[in-house]
Amino acid sequence: MKYGEVMLEQSRDPSIFADVVKELRLKPPVVIKPNWGTINNYTEAQVIDAVLSAINGEAVVTESYGWARAEDAVKGLGPGSMRKEALRKSDEWFLKTSGVGDVLKRHGVEYVNVTEEVWGKRTVDSETIKGLMKYSPVEAEEFYAQVPKKLFDLRGGTFLSLAKYRLNHDPIAFSLTLKNFFGMIPGPGRAKYHGKENEKLSTNIVDINKVYRSVFTVKGMVDGFYTASRGKTEEQAIKPEIAENMGVVLGSENGVKLDAFVAAMEGRDPEKIDYFKLASTVFGGWEKRDIEAAKKCGVSVWKNIK
């Protein structure tokens, strides 16, 4: 069902992914950025499969390394190592055990690891990216030099921020299509982009969005089909509470409105989420009627779960 510029589907039938993809009018080649930030709640192989099956044309999947995507995290031992070889082994383990690797192979889709491309110096010249910028300069100058050539070569297509339906502790509050771009910072350590007491977080979330929105047409999808997560405290970020089989999928050509809509569905005021508010001043925001529609839609994953 459409609510202004946001499409909301709730069903146990995975065909709703195709319905949302159709509504988004993705122009190939499509760069898909899932959320594989933590092994305890990530964009599942089945979701990747459903989205790829609905795209009529070339696609690639991109993500960066993260030490929470490791076997140690599953065992409750905390994040894994940040050493290069440990990260590479963790990624191999993840692609195999999650089934994502098999899905990508079956579809003939390449996985572009942003961190590896930056380490290998296979990136676009920063001056080229600066020349394409549609927005005010970014604070972290290195962002200009971290766009992989493999992705840049697909710039005539669409960038799909394929986010999880994820509630976080404040100040993040929600990790949706805007926050998903934080994973395009190669890392694997991104603490400095949070800053002391998260003082730089909003700026850097919006700034990495600026870079990729200057290169691509960006569209968004929020997936709460098989799983959605909630971490009420920072300690729960690695191992959040999980809601299963809620069958919720949303999409929009306007990621800011989409994220605000989800926040309102869950009873939060997007005006009070700092990086949402900053993004709205840069990319355009939501309207009062969007928020009212979200409140009245009758769909929520977490609002009524104590």
pLDDT of 231: 86
Spatial distance between the Cα atoms of 19 and 66, rounded to a whole number of angstroms = 31
pLDDT digits (tens, 9 = 90+) for 151-173: 999 999 999 999 999 999 889 99
3-state DSSP of 135-173? CCCCCCHHHHHCCEHHHHCCCCCEEEEEEECEECCCCCC
For the cut 90, the answer to whether the pLDDT of residue 189 exceeds it is no
Question: pLDDT: is 238 or 32 the higher one?
Answer: 32
The average pLDDT across 186-210 equals 93
82/46: higher pLDDT: 46
pLDDT of the residue at 302: 87
User: Any idea what the Cα angle at residue 212 is, between residues 208 and 218, rounded to 5°?
Assistant: 120
| Helical pair 45-54 and 16-24, crossing angle rounded to 10 deg | 50
pLDDT of 79: 74
Give the pLDDT band (50/70/90) at residue 38: confident
Please write down the HEC assignment for all residues of 235-259: HHHCCCEEEECCCEEEEECCHHHHH
- Provide the pairing of β-strand 227-230 with 166-167: parallel
Q: Residue 10: pLDDT band by 50, 70, 90 thresholds? A: very high
pTM: 0.96
pLDDT digits over 243-280, tens only? 999 999 999 999 999 999 999 999 999 999 999 999 99
Q: Which among 112, 130, 132 is positioned nearest to 122, based on CA atoms?
A: 112
Q: What percent of the chain has pLDDT over 70?
A: 97
End-to-end Cα separation, the chain, in angstroms: 27
Give strand pairing partners of 252: 6, 220
Model confidence at 74: pLDDT above 80: no
Q: Please answer whether residues 8 and 1 qualify as being in contact, where contact means their C-beta atoms are separated by less than 8 angstroms.
A: yes
- Work out the pLDDT band at 73, boundaries 50, 70, 90: confident
Mean pLDDT, rounded, of the chain:
94
Average pLDDT on 95-111 reads: 98
